[in-house]
Amino acid sequence: MSTAHPHAHRSNDAPPDEAIKPPSAYNNFHLDEAIATGNTGMCMCQGEFESMKALNAVLSTIAPYVYAWGKYLHEEAYFMIADFREVGEQPPDPVQFTTRLAKLHKNSHSPTGKFGFHTTTCRGTITQATNLWEESWAELYKKQLQHMFDMDIEKHGHWPEFERLIDITLSKVIPRILNPLQSEGRSIKPCLLHGDCWDENTATDMETGEPFIRDAGSFYGHNEYEVGNWRAPRHLLSSKVYMKNYKRNFEVSEPEDDWDGRNLLYSLRFNVGAAILIPGCNQREAVYEDMKELIKTYCREDWIDFEKSTMVSDRVMVAGGDQDGPEDGEEEEEEEEEEEIDVHMK
């Protein structure tokens, strides 16, 4: 915007406005306005404003520059004003994009040295548990994932088997997979994350040709969390070329053998969010299967117990629907099947 405003450097004894000669021309600049309503409207605008401001403080032009956010005077709606950037190719070139993203992660520094953020941010219209600080990444991620599962159950209702898998994932899988990142001399740095880095939130700037990110819900976390959203085949970013190039720019954390397990664990948060935000999608069922895979791989005894309890539950349901009771020989067959299951599990 031009600084040659008609009131610029105006003295106190200047004549009335009518006597001021207006400038012959103003430079043009384009703004983008985001508007949010509903229960999370304020959080959405404030959270994105703080996220974009933090991103640009680390790496200039990685995200649209933000100017302000606020509330409309006469209605329950909120706004955020930012630079307009014309969207080109989505997602951007894998080499250029992953280079910039890794640079953002490497150059960022948590103001507290901990994992978290100074305000609540959102993913779409749902809040994220970001407004807290934790020295342990495993502890922060546990709270964030618990928050997502709580919202999912509130929206979709109870599912006992699903909720049992949740309990095992939170109490057993997370410590098993994430605690080693910060134990036995190993450490990870809290990196500033976009927080919802998928196809539509990445783009090539049509004017400059550089990759940029938008619609952020940031916090400081493990850099590998950022690419957890790339695991889902529904995203173009799931193409192996993006993950391969990101790893070239940011080495896999130790223990390296747990990388795929961490990636699957991180994908849960994004997929639970999709289940909440997208009516009729099958992501809740996908999360159910992914938790089973994690438990089977990393918590074998809990997996065996879960399998046994599920089989018993199924049989109780079948028996409850059989008013005549089991026929002769059925009980013996069931006992034999249970013995076979025990042998197989061992």
342/346 Cα distance (integer angstroms): 6
Q: What is the DSSP letter of 236?
A: G
Burial group, residue 174, by CB count within 10 angstroms (0-12, 13-18, 19+)? buried
Instruction: Pick the closest to residue 343 from 302, 308, 317, 292 (CA basis).
Output: 308
Has residue 70 got a pLDDT over 80?
A: yes
Query: Which residue did the predictor score with more confidence, 278 or 314?
Result: 278
The arithmetic mean of pLDDT across residues 127-148, rounded, is: 99
Rg (CA), the chain: 26
65/33 Cα distance (integer angstroms): 12
What is the largest distance, in Å, between two alpha-carbon atoms of the chain? 109
Per-domain boundaries in the chain: 87-302
Joined together, the tokens standing for residue 83 give 């630079």
Contact yes or no for 298/177 (Cβ under 8 A): yes
Q: 107-130: b or e for each residue (b if 16 or more CB lie within 10 Å)?
A: ebebeeeebbbeebbbbeebbbbb
Has residue 3 got a pLDDT over 80?
A: no
pLDDT of res. 72:
93
Per-residue confidence band for 258, with pLDDT thresholds at 50, 70 and 90: very high
- Please tell me whether the peptide bond between 255 and the residue prior to it is cis, using omega within 30 degrees of 0: yes
pTM for the complete prediction? Answer: 0.82
pLDDT of res. 303:
96
Superfamily of domain 87-302: Aminoglycoside phosphotransferase (APH), C-terminal lobe (3.90.1200.10)
pLDDT of res. 1:
36
- Which residues have a Cβ under 8 Å from the Cβ of 35 and sit 6 or more positions away? 77, 78, 79
